[in-house]
Amino acid sequence: MTCGFIQQQLYTRARGGIFHTTDGYDTIAISVGLDKAFIKKYLHPFCIYHSPKTLTDNTLYPEAVTIFQPETGDLIIGQSVFVPADFTGTRSTYFMHNYIIPSNKKDVWIKQPEKLFQLRDFRTSYDVAIGKVLPELDIVSFDETDIFSVKDELLLKFGISALHFKHLLFAVLSSIAGKKKVFISLNVPVQDYSKYALLLLELIYTYLPFAHRRKLGVITFSSEPEGKNYIHVTFFEPGTLNIGDRSIEKQFIFDFTGGHISGVVIDGQQFEYLELAMHHFSEAKRMNDFFAFAEMALSGLPDVQKLDLTSYNQLTAVYLTLKVSSDSIYKKVGFLDSLLKFLKINSDEKTELVELFLKIVTVVKVASDPDTALDYINVVLSINTIVKSDTALSFILETLSFYQNDPLFHMLWKAIEQDKHTLQAIVLFSNEHPDYDELLELYFYERFKVIFAIEDILNEIKVMLATPYPLAIEKFKSVVIKKIASVITSELFKAALAVKDFTIDQPSAEFIAFKKDMLVHTKLALLRSLTVPELTLKDIIAFGALFTKEFNPKDIIEGKVRENYLITNALYQLISNPSQAGSYNLRSLTPAARVQLRSTMRQLLRNNLTAEHFLLLVVAFETEYDGVDYQGLVEYMILYSNDKTLLSFIRANLSLIETNPGYRRTLRKYLIRNPKSLWKNKTHRKELKLIKNTSFKKLLREVETETVSSLHKFFKKIGKV
């Protein structure tokens, strides 16, 4: 219902009513704001009366009060009374009057138990001639007797001890949260049964949290125990309990007349809330302050948690801690878990809990117990994702600092990394507080500690740069640069090229600047690590791709590193443009570096000799003072080239036969004495003879003279003569 007024309904046996025109039981009058479908679905099933079995005098029959709260959120309070004669005067009936309190007014009622259990204005009859319309009400009168003024007398009369009351409270709490019903039989006169039931109910109700009050359903008199939907507590007529009934046996039974109590097993268990309630009960005090606190803490949580006794046990610890500080409980992970549970939803409305959390991390300072440190930090992290406090960040960092030489350090960081926002907050906070510089650097080292392949390192960097904040942190950049430099020791150029090609989605200006710095240090690390004599042609090409004109060798401080660069750069310039090798000036290199370059050049070309490399070979066999070592060059060609290349080399250097005696002597010796010389191959000999050069032809005549007899013998041997 959405109406803002209290509605009324009357029900009895009459000559026609709201729903039927024939004689019988029906609603006979209602308020105008009461929905008829609501009446039929929710009110009619509760319009009942069970006559006592043990009384013969119907003038002593007790009234039965029903309180229940359907899922609509409304609160229904009704009273049913026995009527000796109906409208015919020949048969008995009953009369019921229900008040329906709409959901928007209900909280005022549940927070003032007197309104429920001391309600005065129930009708016991009605003249339908007045009409079928009942007034809508804004208030209903009730008595205001202080229940605590009769508490001790009442319990004595019932024979209910403090332990019984504790069990009753537990049973009612459990029934509202679960499915079991509570059945109570009181050792009081039956005609006064509802009066005493209401008094006991009010006493129990005083110690029910508001969430339970919003669900509670009761019947103050029934002729026997019987379960009913929306009803949690039923007071049944003494002497009617059937202990053998299996369905009843499974419920909470409090038969104070027969001395049979069952269903409650709480001895030896710790129930903080029950202890708090019983403390207030013993002092006849209400718990409204705690209930208001619980309302705040449970705000937004699902009903199952609002009704769970565990929630109230946890809240009791929190509530008492707010009243009296306790360092010992602050250190308990379970206590923080409780705070987390209540702060997960509507945390902005729970300032007391937030302040308590901040007080805890301030007082505790560091999770110093290694057995619980990881769990403690996990809870602090979870809470801080909600409250987002620098105080919590300091606590986390102090704990990290405490364990920086312990295996827990890595595990704690792993826990932090589970939430990117928290990780970002902690790293940025550390960056802004110099006291944590060393810790921050250690963290970044830990991230890369077990990664050694350049591909894996770059992948990790990409993961970390999924958020841009690391680029604002110098420690991150310096650790990354050092890590990359440390692995540029094998597959130098492959690793360096991987760094050169490294990028991220939508690179920012900050990333571009970082990448440039990273590449500079990568190149320097490469130059420190490379061994010039071990370079391959592939390495030289890669060098050219890496070291563009933007790289200035003057920035290199280390002499050996600069020399490595100059030698390798000269090799690249020569090899990448061999036709211009003759004009390349090596004087920028030291004599030792030039020797190194020539030696390396000879190493590089010996497995890749082609005609385009001839000028490179001239550079490779230059000497510091005597020009070119052509004798060594020819010997090199003989050793490492094939016949075709060697023939091309001879053609390309015909002028040397006349100008360089050493070259001529070495070539002549090769043609005459080398068993695999071109001269000793019939096809190649013809090609040599076709070369038109006077000096060369003269050389060939000398070769022929020296070799004719032996050559003749050779061809005869193989059958060619």
pLDDT digits (tens, 9 = 90+) for 433-475: 988 988 989 999 988 988 999 999 999 999 999 888 899 899 9
Same domain, 237 and 361: no
Percent of the chain at pLDDT > 90 equals: 80
State the DSSP H helix or E strand holding residue 614, giving kind and residue range, or none if neither: helix 614-620
Mean pLDDT over all residues of the chain? 92
277-286, 531-540, 579-588, 611-620 — which is least confidently predicted? 579-588
Q: Is 491 helix (H, G, I), strand (E, B) or coil?
A: coil
pLDDT at 681 over 60: yes
Same domain, 174 and 255: yes
Which of 379, 402, 432 finishes a domain? 432
pLDDT at 199 over 80: yes
23-27, 91-95, 546-550 — which is least confidently predicted? 546-550
pTM for the complete prediction?
Answer: 0.76
Overall average pLDDT of the 185-200 stretch: 96
Same domain, 330 and 278: no
2 falls in which pLDDT band (50, 70, 90)?
low
Q: Is residue 416 part of a domain?
A: yes
Q: Is residue 154 part of a domain?
A: yes
Q: Is residue 35 part of a domain?
A: yes
State the DSSP H helix or E strand holding residue 30, giving kind and residue range, or none if neither: strand 23-31
Same domain, 129 and 157: no
Which of 402, 417, 432 finishes a domain? 432
Same domain, 182 and 120: no
237-251, 399-413, 567-581 — which is least confidently predicted? 237-251
pLDDT on residue 78: 98
526 falls in which pLDDT band (50, 70, 90)?
very high
DSSP tag of 621: T
Overall average pLDDT of the 693-703 stretch: 94
Overall average pLDDT of the 669-695 stretch: 93
Nearest by Cα to 147 from 103, 74, 211, 196: 196
Same domain, 93 and 215: no
* Cα separation, 613 vs 601, whole angstroms: 10
pLDDT at 595 over 80: yes
Q: What angle do CA 619, 622, 625 make, to 5 degrees?
A: 145
Q: Is residue 372 part of a domain?
A: yes
Q: Is residue 332 part of a domain?
A: yes
Same domain, 330 and 203: no
Q: Is residue 302 part of a domain?
A: no
What digits encode the pLDDT tens for the residues 117-134? 999 899 999 999 899 999
Percent of the chain at pLDDT > 70 equals: 98
What digits encode the pLDDT tens for the residues 7-63? 999 999 998 899 998 899 999 999 999 999 999 999 999 999 999 998 989 999 999
**Those residues with Cβ within 8 angstroms of residue 120's Cβ, 6 or more apart along the chain or in another chain:** 140, 141, 142, 143
pLDDT at 270 over 60: yes
> What tokens were used for 49?
């009366």
713 falls in which pLDDT band (50, 70, 90)?
low
pLDDT on residue 709: 63
pLDDT on residue 152: 95
pLDDT at 327 over 90: no
Tell me the residue type at 43: L
Same domain, 244 and 352: no
Overall average pLDDT of the 611-629 stretch: 89
User: Into how many domains does the chain fold?
Assistant: 4
pLDDT on residue 714: 57
What digits encode the pLDDT tens for the residues 621-643? 998 877 899 999 999 999 999 99
pLDDT on residue 1: 59
Q: Is the dihedral of CA 706, 708, 712, 715 positive or negative?
A: positive
Query: Alpha-carbon dihedral of residues 451, 455, 460, 461, nearest 10 degrees?
Result: 120
pLDDT at 89 over 90: no
Q: Is residue 214 part of a domain?
A: yes
Query: 364, 330 in Cβ contact below 8 A?
Result: yes
* Cα separation, 520 vs 69, whole angstroms: 75
Which of 399, 432, 465 finishes a domain? 432
Burial class (CB in 10 A: 0-12, 13-18, 19+), 381: buried
* Cα separation, 171 vs 182, whole angstroms: 7
Same domain, 25 and 79: yes
Overall average pLDDT of the 353-371 stretch: 94
Same domain, 40 and 87: yes
Q: Is residue 53 part of a domain?
A: yes
> What tokens were used for 306?
């609002």
Overall average pLDDT of the 703-719 stretch: 68
Same domain, 233 and 344: no
pLDDT on residue 715: 55
Domain span at residue 690? 644-721
Same domain, 13 and 50: yes
What digits encode the pLDDT tens for the residues 462-471? 999 988 889 9
